Amino acid sequence: MLKGRSLIDPRDFSVEELEEVFELAEKIIKSPEDFSKMCSGKILATLFYEPSTRTRLSFESAMLRLGGNVIGFSEASSSSVSKGETIADTVRTVSCYADVIAMRHPLEGSAKIASLYSHIPVINAGDGGHQHPTQTLTDLLTIRTLKKGLSNHVIGLCGDLKYGRTVHSLIKAMSRYNNNKFILISPEELSIPKYIKREVLEKNNIPYEEVRTLEEAMDKVDIIYMTRIQRERFDNKEEYERLKNSYILDNKKMSIAKEDAIVMHPLPRVNEIAYEVDDDNRACYFKQAKFGMYVRMALIAKVLGVI
């Protein structure tokens, strides 16, 4: 039963509950007009304290396509946070005006705090370098659809594995399905955090290897998941400049990838996928962005209990 539930960590929903969301998303994709009034009279509040294009707009588009309405802010400076209001008071107030909240905030753990004070479901739209569970739903629906299921994949994760919250959430999520293996491709300085290695991969006996170049992984992966180096999380700007172009996926590297591999990226991209790759039919990142809207439609409908 997902009605009234918050989504803070990708593992807040069981595998069976996620399946419910994906099955509904599939129905919406097949016949969106059947769902166009489903959230009539309901309001989504988008509280974005950090910049966003895809997450905020896909949430808003999702609610509008379900026949609901949207309120919110896209930067902290236009809300009373700029006068010193706490997250707790903001969400208690917004609970009086809306039926569901999607919140992005730079502080890790902020979405959890919001859910403790809110009277309506809170969906974590990204909390600092921690988690981004609706990007994970997006990624899982993309893989489930384009790679025919969520098991038996070799997944290459490349780029900023230290600060990239989408990667942390995706590893947690894909570790729950059978026979997946990870190849972690990053500079040593941007390696996956130790707690993910210990608490998620090693604890669950999930095979993984760490490599430093894309070339070492390209012919082995079924899914190559590129990420940008997260400039905003660096304290030392010189370190960012040194690492920012560590990986660039181009047609030459794609020439050694499997015929049926797919390239994913949560976007925004900076320089890590050359524009020439966009014409390769294995490049799926814009399809992925569209799956994000459909899966958020399904998620909103489920937590509101309208289906």
Using CB under 6 A, list all residues that contact ligand CP.
52-55, 126, 135, 266-268
Q: Residue 185: in which H helix or E strand, if any? A: strand 181-185
Residue 7 token pair: 């989504």
Closer CB to ligand CP, 118 or 135, in the complex: 135
Smaller CB separation from ligand CP, 135 or 186? 135
- Tell me the longest C-alpha to C-alpha distance in the chain: 55
Rounded to a whole number of angstroms, the minimum distance from the CB of residue 142 to ligand CP is: 12
In angstroms, the CA 211 to CA 189 distance is 12
- Least Cβ distance, residue 166 to ligand CP (angstroms): 7
Closer to ligand CP at the Cβ: 57 or 274? 57
Token code pair at residue 70: 């949207």
For residue 282, what are its two tokens? 């294995």
147 or 228: CB nearest ligand CP: 228
Question: Which three-class secondary structure state does DSSP give residue 54?
Answer: helix
Q: Shortest gap between Cβ of 268 and ligand CP (angstroms)?
A: 6
Shortest reach from residue 83's CB to ligand CP, in Å: 26
Could you tell me the smallest distance in angstroms from the CB atom of residue 289 to ligand CP?
8
Q: How far is the CB of 162 from ligand CP (least distance, A)?
A: 17
Least CB distance from residue 267 to ligand CP, whole Å? 5
**Cα→Cα distances 283→9, 71, 146, 150, 190, Å:** 28, 34, 11, 19, 24
User: Which residue, 43 or 293, has its beta carbon nearer to ligand CP?
Assistant: 293
Contact 158, 224 (CB under 8 A): yes
Sign of CA dihedral 283, 285, 288, 290: negative
What is the Cα–Cα distance from 65 to 39, expressed in whole angstroms? 9
Question: What's the order of all strands across the beta sheet hosting 262-264?
Answer: 208-211, 181-185, 154-158, 223-226, 262-264
* 32 or 51: CB nearest ligand CP: 51
Alpha-carbon distance values, 245 to 61, 96, 229, 241, 269 (Å): 33, 46, 8, 8, 12
- Closer CB to ligand CP, 109 or 268, in the complex: 268
